Amino acid sequence: MNIHEQKNFKKLPESYWLASTLTTNYPALNEDIDVDLVIIGGGLVGITCAYLLEKEGLSIAVLEASSICNGTTAHTTAKITSQHGLIYNKIQNSMGKELAQQYAEANELAIEEIKKISEENDIDCDYIPQSAFIYTQDENYIQKIESEVETASNLGINASYVENIPFDIDIKGAVQFHNQAQFHPRKYVLGLAKAIYNNNVNIFENTRAMDIEKDENYIVITDKGKKVRAKNIIIASHYPFYNKHGGYFTRIYPEKSYIVGIKAKEKYPGGMYINAEDPARSLRHQSTDDGELILVVGEHHKTGQSEDTNKHYQALLDFANTLFTVEDVPYRWSTQDCMTLDGVPYVGNFTSNTPNMYIAKGFGKWGMTNSMVSAMILRDLIIEGKNPWQDIYNPSRKTIVASAKNFVVENFNVAEQLIEGKLESLPKNIDIEPGEGRILKVDGERLGAYRDEDGTLHLVNTTCPHMGCELNWNSAERSWDCPCHGSRFSYDGNTIVEGPAVEPLRAGKDVNTIEKLFKDDF
């Protein structure tokens, strides 16, 4: 089956998690307020932090730029697992057993906590216990898998080595983590938000944080000019928009991956799977009102650095065709993850010089348990000043030095984007079909052009308002994507699809002038 033959292919990609839940309608902030804690970002981390800290008696405001649980959490695979690739060997070898132990304990406990919270609050979120597997088809990985089983077991995780998984894949070996789980992430977050929305927790949607000032408290300035004053602040937005301290823009890079939700003739055998090698392939299933949906996931690349984003959906469908008789592809969507330099998230004090300012960021592709862990760490840091796992997650950890080589490489790559985007040679013609986006060069200026299905041409200035990198066109999602820190904009530049940018794109030249100019030229 070819993705282009799919009746759903003409539609823009759509996440099943969003399609199967209602949109929320929390008010925007329309006055200045004072609270104990302001949380920027209404995803899984922000709402879970609000949940745990409301129980400690804090008054809380959650500020969400669009609507809650609309970003990463609504586009994830939603595996609740302490199995984050072959991470335990990696942490133990680079940071030592003690920190590996912290990571294992935190994420194992997070699995139980999510279950407990959903039960205590009566949240019907399709929580199902599952095993999680990492398999390999490459003999070079067998020893790594065996070693991961041993390390994880020594750290207290219920892990075992298996030689088969229930798919027609010629595997060389796999590690199985027992007592893991899956759920519907948006049902969970919306249920939790409903449970905490009361006099002590206010949730404000369509309220973008634009800047943070400081006197004896923090003052968050919103896009509508309103102020939230608070002693404590948690930055839990997708990518930190706040650049004044911490240098996070040099040590987090965005990466995209893709999901196709298929209907198959065969019944899914249960379990959650991912391979150890590239290209990444991951599997889970989900019961829906319309039968079983199988999620096939993978194909990662840095944001803004893929020539044809549609080809990634086709690659996943090709893989699905080898395992199942695919009957339909009702959903497909992409996700954007923030990656850290050593693969461990940054959770804790924003910097050592910014007391009462906290961050939870950089979950890679493993945001479910790491979000729960973040909320537990930040609760403890705010209430007690310490947490048993604070060292492994410390954003200023010394071991980040061990990743110095990656640090330089990633930065160099980002810097290259800044320069190359400005210099690349650009097509000159304006021969753009409806539904097509292109980069143009007009009078020496780089412009992004998109012609909509009605034939209207939309022009944007392709310089990212965050820090000046040059945007590229994302054909699958019809957006302008920034290769540096992952800001994304709608085709007309007016909507910020993803931050850290807090301003929309500047308009390109006047459309009539451009069309005339090209008519004259060609």
Q: Could you list the residues that contact ligand FES (CB under 6 A)?
A: 464, 466-469, 482, 484-487, 500-501
| Rounded Cα distance, 493 and 479, in Å | 8
Contact criterion met (CB below 8 Å) for 294 and 283 = yes
Q: How far is CA 89 from CA 83, 125, 401, in A?
A: 12, 32, 18
CB of 259 or CB of 339, closer to ligand FES: 339
The nearest distance, CB 304 to ligand FES, in angstroms, is 8
The nearest distance, CB 417 to ligand FES, in angstroms, is 8
The nearest distance, CB 356 to ligand FES, in angstroms, is 26
CB of 117 or CB of 469, closer to ligand FES: 469
The nearest distance, CB 506 to ligand FES, in angstroms, is 13
Q: Give residue 299's region: left, alpha or beta (phi > 0; psi -120 to 50).
A: left
| Rounded Cα distance, 335 and 471, in Å | 18
Burial class (CB in 10 A: 0-12, 13-18, 19+), 158: middle
CB of 330 or CB of 362, closer to ligand FES: 362
CA 252, distance to chain mean position in Å, is 12
The nearest distance, CB 242 to ligand FES, in angstroms, is 13
- The DSSP string of 29-86 is P-S-EEEEEEEE--SHHHHHHHHHHHTTT--EEEE-SSSTT-SGGGGS--EE-S--SS
The nearest distance, CB 435 to ligand FES, in angstroms, is 25
* 85-88, Cβ contacts within 8 angstroms, sequence gap of 24 or more: 85/134, 85/274, 85/276, 85/343, 85/365, 85/366, 86/134, 86/144, 86/145, 86/148, 86/175, 86/276, 87/343, 88/148, 88/151, 88/152, 88/155, 88/157
The nearest distance, CB 302 to ligand FES, in angstroms, is 12
Report phi then psi at 162, rounded to 5: -130, 155
Nearest to 300 by CA among 252, 340, 337, 263: 337
The nearest distance, CB 421 to ligand FES, in angstroms, is 10
The nearest distance, CB 487 to ligand FES, in angstroms, is 4
Strands 209-214, 346-349: pairing is unpaired
CB of 35 or CB of 482, closer to ligand FES: 482
CB of 336 or CB of 369, closer to ligand FES: 336
CB of 487 or CB of 490, closer to ligand FES: 487
CB of 332 or CB of 361, closer to ligand FES: 361
CB of 240 or CB of 330, closer to ligand FES: 240
CB of 348 or CB of 486, closer to ligand FES: 486
Residue the block writes with tokens 């010629």: 170
The nearest distance, CB 249 to ligand FES, in angstroms, is 6
Give residues with Cβ within 8 angstroms of 362, minimum separation 6: 252, 338, 339, 340, 344, 345, 346
CB of 157 or CB of 471, closer to ligand FES: 471
**Which DSSP symbol is given to 455?**
S
